[in-house]
Amino acid sequence: MTRFGFAGTGLRGRLVGLVGAAFWLVASGCEGPKPPSASGLGRSTVVASGKGVRTLELVPSPKPAADMDYVRNAARIQAGLDTSRIQVADASVGVQADLVRQAILREPPALIIEAPAEPDAELNRAAGEARAKGIPVVALGRSLGESAGGPGREIVVAPKPFRESADRIVELAMRNAGNGKVDPKAGAAILAETPSDPTIGERLVALKEALAAAGVAEVGEVRFARDLEAARAVLLDYLKAHPKTTLVLGADGFGVDVAEDVAGDAAKDGRPYVVAGYSADESNAKSQTQVGEFAAIGVYSSDRLVRKGVNVAAKLVRGETIGDRVEMETPVLPSPISSGLAKGRPEPVAKAADPDE
């Protein structure tokens, strides 16, 4: 996953997110996490509370234990804003369908389920069991069952289809390539972390379709684990094997990080390129697009999807009217019109020798 979209989050993004959340919680007076339940169903934590309300339940898609902190943090912030209680299952252990069934036993007023990257028939059955008992299901990312799945409603909270943002990202990347005097249609590489967030596949497809529609001759997909040095080596090898590559697009924040990190070395080797793509690190994206280092960044993060789902569930429980599908926009940050190729991260300045040493 991507910066502050849980997996793939850079150290700077993680620290900023945690510090910002801490200041927000102190300022708002929201209580901290309660200890896990000891009931035997307790691989979950109540992470925020309000008075006189029943507890919402969130069952995230499977993810590493380290990334669960960011899920809980996102849920805590939104639950505090909505004066709601929310319990978050620990998706780093157990089977997601089993966690849903454990949540059903607690009879929540609404159940929020993050759809995994790949369809899961057993999870869909568990979501149907919740609806059969009259529990509304807020599905994050995509539907988890048929519309007639039971008396409990299903509301899908998902990003708006990525093709529109992908078209804009590719358009701006090609513009910058032209400004940099390289062929924008010669070749492109799409980078992504493995594993990433559940919607990574949709962004990969959208970018491939946008590049094909723009007439880019060769499009490759480069995947790597969350190891910057290993990822650098993979990308450098790809560029040597595909020297016509002029567009390097990150489908997630880690992919963008790797593209930026390698850009300087690639330029020195006579293989300069444009960096663009998707990232959850909006602050870095703004600064780097403003100076033209990134051609364009579509801002997308899983934590925003989680927060939107919690907000929709809270509104539903309060009796507000909610449609069957709620979509989130993916804004695209553009670089200035005269921007060109990526220069890469600046070289560290060597420390001057101390004459007294």
Residue type, 84: S
Strand partners, 220: 189
Same domain, 237 and 121: no
For residue 3, pLDDT over 50 is answered with: no
Residue 44 pairs in a beta bridge with: 89
Residue 73 inside a domain? The answer is yes
Q: What is the C-alpha separation between 224 and 193, in angstroms, rounded?
A: 5
Which of 282, 300, 318 is a domain's end point?
300
Q: What is the pLDDT of residue 355?
A: 54
Residues 206, 110, single domain; the answer is no
210 and 121 share one domain? no
pLDDT at 70 over 70: yes
Give, in order, the Cα–Cα distances in Å from 104 to each of 73, 79, 111: 23, 20, 8
Residue 4 pLDDT exceeds 60: no
Q: What percent of the chain has pLDDT over 90?
A: 74
**Tally of domains within the chain:** 2
**81 in the same domain as 177:** no
Judge whether 271 lies within some domain. yes
CA distances from 124 to 62, 98, 114, 137, 161 (A): 15, 11, 11, 11, 22
- 329-203-284 Cα angle (round to 5): 65
Domain boundary among 280, 300, 320: 300
37 in a structural domain:
no
Residue 255 has pLDDT above 70, yes or no: yes
CA distance 32 to 194: 32
Pairwise CA distance, residues 289 & 310, whole Å: 31
Query: Three-state SS across 30-68?
Result: CCCCCCCCCCCCCCEEEEECCCCCCEEEEECCCCCHHHH
As a whole number, mean pLDDT of residues 209-235 equals 97
Residue 84 domain-assigned (yes or no): yes
The phi and psi torsions of 16 (rounded to 5 degrees) equal -60, -45
262 and 315 co-located in one domain: no
Q: Same domain, yes or no, for 111 and 139? A: yes
Confidence of residue 301 (pLDDT cuts 50, 70, 90): very high
* Average pLDDT for the chain: 86
pLDDT tens readout for residues 270-288: 999 999 999 999 999 999 9
CATH code: domain of residue 75: 3.40.50.2300
Q: Is 4 part of a structural domain of the chain?
A: no
How many residues are given for the chain? 357
Amino acid occupying residue 243 = P
Answer yes or no: is 347 within a domain.
no
CA–CA distance, 268 with 7 (Å, rounded to integer): 31
Clarify whether residues 292 and 173 are in a common domain. Answer: yes
Indicate if 110 and 204 belong to the same structural domain.
no
Model pLDDT, residue 54: 81
Looking at the predicted structure, is the pLDDT value of residue 162 above 60?
yes
Please give the distance of CA 93 from its chain centroid, rounded to a whole number: 21
154: tokens are 């299903």
In this structure, the strands spanning 55-59 and 85-89 are parallel
Find all residues with CB under 8 Å of 116, minimum gap 6, and list them. 61, 62, 96, 123, 198
* pLDDT above 70: residue 21: no
C-beta neighbour count of 266 within 10 angstroms: 21
Residue 51, token pair as written in the block: 């008075």
pLDDT digits (tens, 9 = 90+) for 82-99: 999 999 999 998 899 999
- Range of 284's domain? 162-300
Q: What is the mean pLDDT of residues 191-206?
A: 94
Check residue 26 and give its pLDDT: 37
Is the same domain home to 167 and 292?
yes
135 part of a folded domain = yes
**Is 340 within the bounds of a domain?**
no
- Looking at the fold, whether 190 and 120 belong to one and the same domain comes out as no
- The 274-279 sheet, strands edge to edge: 219-224, 188-193, 247-250, 274-279, 294-299, 332-334
Contacts of 280 (CB under 8 A, 6+ apart): 1, 2, 3, 4, 5, 9, 13, 252, 253, 299, 300, 301, 302, 303, 304
Q: Which residue has the higher pLDDT, 355 or 190?
A: 190
Assess whether 105 and 216 both reside in one domain: no
Q: How confident is the model at residue 351 (pLDDT cuts 50, 70, 90)?
A: low
Share of the chain above pLDDT 70, in %: 81
Q: What is the pLDDT of residues 304-332, one digit of tens each?
A: 999 999 999 999 999 999 999 999 999 99
Rounded mean pLDDT of 162-187? 98
Maximal C-alpha separation, the chain = 81
Query: Do 237 and 262 reside in the same domain of the chain?
Result: yes
d(CA 95, CA 106): 18
CB atoms < 10 A from the CB of 187, how many? Answer: 21
pLDDT bracket for residue 52 (50, 70, 90) = low
Distances (CA, A) of 311 to 77, 85, 103, 300, 306: 10, 11, 19, 18, 9
